[in-house]
Amino acid sequence: MCSVNNPAPQLPIIDSGALTRCRHRVRLDGLFPGKSASEPVDTGVKQRQDAAIAKRAEIAELVIGAAPERWVKINPDQSASAQARDTLAACEAGADRIWGAVLPVERDTGRKGRCEMLVRDDEGGGYIPVIVVNHKVTDPGQGAITSGLLEWEPAVDPKRKVRSQVRDQMRVAQVYRMLERRGLASPSLTAGAIGYNGDCVLVHDLSAILDDYDERFADRIAVARGEVLTSPSQVSECKSCPWWTECKQELVRNRDVSLVAVGSRAELLRDVGCNTIDQLAAWDGEPLEDWPHGNFDDAVVIAKAWLADAPLVRRFEKISVTRADIEIDVDMESYQEHGAYLWGTLLNVGGFSMYRGFATWDPLPTRDEARSFAEFWGWLMAERAAAAASGKTFAAYCYSRSAEDKWLLDSARRFAGEPGIPSKDEIREFIDSPQWVDIYQAVSDQFICPNGKGLKKIAPVAGFNWRDAEAGGEASMAWYREAVGYDGEPDETQRTRILQYNEDDVIATKVLREWMTDRAEKEIPLASEL
């Protein structure tokens, strides 16, 4: 008789992303590590990953190209263990700058980590971790500590304030702890992040971060290793999570309160013993204090709507929306922060509608964007002036105006002085006028929306559906790349697809306000009727 020695199972390893991720997902990833890797990557996630890769390549070219003799670049085509070996060798040799640093996996603690740059601290010795990200890390203001890209010289920045990014903080803190364990961390307790604009390094004070990091890491590694039990709860990241199908089935089966009160709101309700949708719908006590994201009474109505399978609930007896003799629906399409390449319009006069898109198909960023924007603005203002001259009322509509307002103002700023470009004051006069109508705001003010307030959620209630089953903002980003030829030859069919999608968006806002005028009062129950 013989015995077989089975190897001990390997303990789960987590990167810093787990520290801001759903705890139940961390547990499931630890139990079934192959699941996430085998699932198709969400379109939006893939786009963000590709954009981040491009940003890192851009920064690498900039900083290494300025002084190649200062840099050791770790070969990313090697295995992770080989990259870690070369990173440690570069540190031990006292390299000034290291690009693409990977640290050895810590099997005992459960940490793994990497960062784009390690910068040697000339004063205190050791290394300062710096990451490169494709989102903003600062906003206009003052008080942030920043450094130039080429030299580590932290100083108070009179033009920038910190934009809080907890995921960035956790990432640099994890790398710092891994450096510290090997005696390679700078005593300065600082780290850095280069953001979307790529014009400075935001300096993080790790002394204000490490306690939070240590607490989060201890919790998540315990969860991953099964030392702490978790259960599903709906949070914002669920929509792109590979476990959502299974979690949703369990939540629906249990009539879990997080289906109608997402994220921290569900936690607050559970703290007072309200665990199910039925319990929330039957709430007869005082509203919870410090209720985030809206009115607590709305949460009770949403629970009742879920039980009644009502997609919308009226707040008031009467529904109203601004109408005019001349109505124009507007929807803008942008690509990341590079610009707005399409201003789609739907002119509605006397029962007839006509779509017109003002576009540039030169890959963004491009000066041709100024031409398409100027043509759009000139046409819109001409229609406005013609309505006034003929004694007719005029209104232009959008759905959730923040994006349109941003690109209207930004286009005026970026292209100031070019033919047909309005001043920011002209833009401001229009968007502050009652003739610029946000249908999203009209919906928010007059309806409680159990399934969300997005146009793709609300317009189908009014009877409108998009022709393209894949229509959506993130999908259109991928279509745009193909339409303009970022990755190959331009694809004319994708341009047609984008224009059709944009046309459907403006038609959707038209259908929605007409429905609000004619049918909503008959079709949607009042909150008091549930």
Determine the Cα–Cα distance for residues 322 and 517; give it in Å rounded to an integer: 9
Residue 18 in this model has a pLDDT that exceeds 90: yes
- Which contacts of 159-168 are long-range, i.e. CB under 8 A and separated by 24 or more positions? 160/200, 160/202, 162/137, 162/138, 162/202, 163/136, 163/137, 163/138, 163/139, 163/195, 165/133, 165/135, 165/137, 165/193, 166/20, 167/16, 167/17, 167/19, 167/20, 168/131, 168/133, 168/137, 168/193, 168/204
Report helix, strand or coil for 157. coil
What residues pair up with 437 in beta bridges, in sequence order? 397
**Class for the domain spanning 326-529:** alpha beta
pLDDT band at 4 (very low <50, low <70, confident <90, very high): very low
pLDDT digits (tens, 9 = 90+) for 158-181: 999 999 899 999 999 999 999 999
Please report the pLDDT score of residue 38 as a whole number.
Answer: 62
Report helix, strand or coil for 126. coil
pLDDT band at 239 (very low <50, low <70, confident <90, very high): confident
Please report the pLDDT score of residue 253 as a whole number.
Answer: 96
CA 210 to centroid of chain Cα atoms: 25
Q: How far is CA 426 from CA 111, 132, 277, 384, 432, in A?
A: 54, 37, 49, 13, 10
Out of 43-52, 194-203, 520-529, pick the least confident. 43-52
Please report the pLDDT score of residue 196 as a whole number.
Answer: 87
Q: Which residues are CB-neighbours of 122 under 8 A, at least 6 positions away?
A: 152
Determine the Cα–Cα distance for residues 35 and 231; give it in Å rounded to an integer: 18
pLDDT digits (tens, 9 = 90+) for 355-401: 999 999 999 999 999 999 999 999 999 999 999 999 999 999 999 99
Residue 2 in this model has a pLDDT that exceeds 70: no
Determine the Cα–Cα distance for residues 456 and 472; give it in Å rounded to an integer: 8
Report the mean per-residue pLDDT for the chain: 93
pLDDT band at 33 (very low <50, low <70, confident <90, very high): confident
Please report the pLDDT score of residue 8 as a whole number.
Answer: 46
Residues 270-288: what's their mean pLDDT? 94
Please report the pLDDT score of residue 391 as a whole number.
Answer: 97
pLDDT digits (tens, 9 = 90+) for 70-107: 999 999 999 999 999 999 999 999 999 999 999 999 99
Angle at 218 between CA 214 and CA 220, to 5 degrees: 115
Domain ranges of the chain: 16-224, 255-309, 326-529
What residues pair up with 348 in beta bridges, in sequence order? 327, 353
Would you call 269 exposed, middle or buried from its count of C-beta atoms within 10 A (0-12, 13-18, 19+)?
buried
Q: Half-sphere exposure of residue 492, counting CA atoms within 13 Å on the CB side? A: 0
For residue 99, the one-letter residue type is W
Helix or strand (DSSP H, E) at 310: none
For residue 530, the one-letter residue type is L
Q: Half-sphere exposure of residue 272, counting CA atoms within 13 Å on the CB side? A: 14
**What secondary structure, in 3-state letters, does 41-100 show?**
CCHHHHHHHHHHHHHHHHHHHHHHHHCHHHEEECCCCCCHHHHHHHHHHHHHCCCCEEEE
Q: Is the dihedral of CA 524, 500, 473, 475 positive or negative?
A: positive
pLDDT digits (tens, 9 = 90+) for 332-342: 999 988 899 99
Instruction: Return the structure tokens found at 290.
Output: 């410090």
Please report the pLDDT score of residue 293 as a whole number.
Answer: 82
Residues 275-284: what's their mean pLDDT? 95
Determine the Cα–Cα distance for residues 242 and 267; give it in Å rounded to an integer: 22
Check if the beta carbon of residue 138 is closer than 8 Å to that of residue 200: yes
